[in-house]
Amino acid sequence: MEIKIVKTTTPKEKPAANALGFGKYFTDHMFVMDYSVEKGWHDARIIPYGPFEFEPSCMVFHYGQSIFEGLKAYKGADGGVLLYRPYENMKRMNRSNDRLCIPQIDEDFAVDAIRQLVLLDKDWIPEGEGTSLYIRPFVFGTDNALGVHPSHTYKFIVILSPVGSYYAGGLSPVKIWVESEYVRAVRGGIGAAKTAGNYAASLKAQEVAEKKGYSQVLWLDGVEQKYVEEVGAMNIFFKIGGEVVTPVLNGSILGGITRDSVIEVLRGSGYKVTERKISIDEVHEAYKNGKLEEVFGTGTAAVISPVGELCYKGEKMVINNNEIGEVSQMLYDTITGMQKGAIEDKYNFTYKI
Amino acid sequence: MEIKIVKTTTPKEKPAANALGFGKYFTDHMFVMDYSVEKGWHDARIIPYGPFEFEPSCMVFHYGQSIFEGLKAYKGADGGVLLYRPYENMKRMNRSNDRLCIPQIDEDFAVDAIRQLVLLDKDWIPEGEGTSLYIRPFVFGTDNALGVHPSHTYKFIVILSPVGSYYAGGLSPVKIWVESEYVRAVRGGIGAAKTAGNYAASLKAQEVAEKKGYSQVLWLDGVEQKYVEEVGAMNIFFKIGGEVVTPVLNGSILGGITRDSVIEVLRGSGYKVTERKISIDEVHEAYKNGKLEEVFGTGTAAVISPVGELCYKGEKMVINNNEIGEVSQMLYDTITGMQKGAIEDKYNFTYKI
Ligand SMILES: Cc1ncc(COP(=O)(O)O)c(C=O)c1O
Ligand SMILES: Cc1ncc(COP(=O)(O)O)c(C=O)c1O
Q: Which residues of A touch B100 (CB under 8 A)?
A: 200, 203-204
Residue B233's pLDDT is what? 93
Residue B101's pLDDT is what? 98
Residue A247 has pLDDT above 70, yes or no: yes
Q: Which residues of B touch A134 (CB under 8 A)?
A: 146
Say which of A51, A100, A138 has its CB closest to residue B200.
Answer: A100
Summarize the confidence of residues A317-335 as an average pLDDT.
97
Cα separations in angstroms, B24 against A58, B27, B29 = 11, 10, 15
Residue A340's pLDDT is what? 92
Q: Which residues of A touch B62 (CB under 8 A)?
A: 66, 68, 136, 138, 196, 199
Residue B172's pLDDT is what? 87
Residue A128 has pLDDT above 80, yes or no: yes
State which residue of chain A sits closest to B58, comparing Cα positions.
A51
* Residue in A218, A235, A263 to alter for ligand 1 test, most ligand atoms within 8 A of Cβ: A235
State which residue of chain A sits closest to B69, comparing Cα positions.
A62
Average pLDDT over all residues of chain A: 96
Residue A159 has pLDDT above 70, yes or no: yes
Q: Which residues of B touch A203 (CB under 8 A)?
A: 63, 65, 100-101, 148-150
Residue B165's pLDDT is what? 83
Atom of ligand 2 nearest to the CA of B261: 9
Residue A202 has pLDDT above 90, yes or no: yes
Residue A77's pLDDT is what? 80
CB contact under 8 A, A189 and B187: no
The length of chain A in residues reads 353
Say which of B24, B54, B61 has its CB closest to residue A145.
Answer: B24
Atom of ligand 2 nearest to the CA of B231: 3
Residue A235 beta carbon below 6 angstroms from any ligand 1 atom:
yes
pLDDT digits (tens, 9 = 90+) for B241-257: 999 999 999 999 999 99
pLDDT band at A83 (very low <50, low <70, confident <90, very high): very high
Residue A167 has pLDDT above 80, yes or no: no
Q: How far is the CA of B102 from the centre of ligand 2 (A)?
A: 20
Is the Cα dihedral B104, B108, B109, B115 positive or negative?
positive
Q: Which of A95, A96, A148, A221 should we substitute to test contact with B (largest number of B Cβ atoms within 10 Å)?
A: A148
pLDDT digits (tens, 9 = 90+) for B23-37: 999 999 999 999 999
Say which of A66, A186, A204 has its CB closest to residue B61.
Answer: A66
Q: How many CB pairs under 8 A join A and B?
A: 204
> Residues with Cβ < 8 Å from B219, sequence gap 6 or more?
B179, B183, B184, B185, B202, B205, B228, B229, B230, B231
Q: How far apart are the first and last CA of chain B?
A: 19
Residue A169 has pLDDT above 70, yes or no: no
Q: Which residues line ligand 2 (CB under 6 A)?
A: B 70, 230, 233-235, 254, 256-259, 298-300
Say which of A51, A181, A187 has its CB closest to residue B188.
Answer: A181
State which residue of chain B sits closest to A191, comparing Cα positions.
B201
- Residue A230 backbone phi and psi in degrees, to 5: -160, 175
Mean per-residue pLDDT pooled into runs of 10, chain B (353 residues): 96 93 96 98 98 98 98 91 98 98 98 98 93 97 96 98 82 94 97 98 96 96 97 96 96 98 97 98 98 98 96 96 96 95 94 94
Query: Which run of H or of E encompasses B86?
Result: helix B86-99
Q: How far apart are CA B295 and CA A118, in angstroms?
A: 57
pLDDT band at A166 (very low <50, low <70, confident <90, very high): confident
Q: Which CATH superfamily is domain A174-346 in?
A: D-amino Acid Aminotransferase, subunit A, domain 2 (3.20.10.10)
pLDDT digits (tens, 9 = 90+) for A286-312: 999 999 999 999 999 999 999 999 999
A328, A196 contact by CB (below 8 A):
no
Instruction: List every span in chain B annotated with CATH 3.20.10.10.
Output: 174-346
Three-state DSSP string of chain A: CCCEECCCCCCCCCCCHHHCCCCCCCCCEEEEEEEECCCEEEEEEEEECCCEEECCCEHHHHHCCEEECCEEEEECCCCCEEEECHHHHHHHHHHHHHHCCCCCCCHHHHHHHHHHHHHHCHHHCCCCCCCEEEEEEEEEECCECCCCCCCCCEEEEEEEEEECCCCCCCCCCEEEEECCCCCCCCCCCCCCCCEHHHHHHHHHHHHHHHHCCCCEEEEECCCCCCEEEEECCEEEEEEECCEEEEECCCCCCCCCHHHHHHHHHHHHCCCCEEEECCEHHHHHHHHHCCCEEEEEEEECCCEEEEEEEEEECCEEEECHHHCCCHHHHHHHHHHHHHHCCCCCCCCCCEEEC
Say which of A140, A148, A184 has its CB closest to residue B199.
Answer: A148
Q: Which of B53, B55, B66, B154 should we substitute to test contact with A (largest number of A Cβ atoms within 10 Å)?
A: B66
Which residue pairs from B214-217 have beta carbons closer than 8 angstroms and sit at least 24 positions apart in sequence? B214/B175, B214/B176, B214/B177, B214/B311, B215/B174, B215/B175, B215/B176, B216/B174, B216/B176, B216/B177, B216/B297, B217/B176, B217/B177, B217/B178, B217/B179, B217/B182
Is ipTM beyond 0.85? yes
**Percent of all residues in chain A with a pLDDT value above 90, rounded to a whole number:** 94
B165, B66 contact by CB (below 8 A):
no
Query: Which run of H or of E encompasses B329?
Result: helix B326-339
Q: How far apart are CA A19 and CA B269, in angstroms?
A: 67
Domain B4-163 has CATH 3.90.79.10: no
Instruction: List every span in chain A annotated with CATH 3.30.470.10.
Output: 4-163
Atom of ligand 2 nearest to the CA of B230: 3
CB contact under 8 A, B222 and A225: no
Residue B168's pLDDT is what? 67
Q: How far is the CA of A255 from the centre of ligand 1 (A)?
A: 7
Q: Which of B62, B68, B149, B220 should we substitute to test contact with A (largest number of A Cβ atoms within 10 Å)?
A: B62
CB contact under 8 A, B161 and A146: yes
